[in-house]
Amino acid sequence: MTKHLQQARDDLEEAAKSADDDVRDDIRETTDAFADYVMGDTTPDHAMLDERLNTLRQVSQQAEGNTERKVESAIETIEDYREQVDQA
């Protein structure tokens, strides 16, 4: 399952490279969170993932081009991952 988190992080890193200033900070914050999930001992639960997904959906509405495509890809990957996470 870490593979999903790594893929989402990679997509978000690519999105940040082409993002406008108004959404770049949100993308980077979410990218950092996924880096922590991948490298740390913290496993995100549904609430944590929902918070990140909400942020990314808002970013997606404001983004264009490659940024939007990469954010959408990350959203899909996170949603796939979330389906495998047990609910508390």
The tens digit of pLDDT for each residue in 4-44 reads: 999 999 999 999 999 998 899 999 999 999 988 888 877 88
What does the pLDDT read at residue 1? 59
- pTM, two decimals, is 0.92
Share of the chain above pLDDT 90, in %: 73
State mean pLDDT over 62-77: 96
- For residue 85, pLDDT over 90 is answered with no
> Are 56 and 71 within 8 A, CB to CB?
yes
What does the pLDDT read at residue 88? 57
State mean pLDDT over 55-64: 96
d(CA 74, CA 88): 24
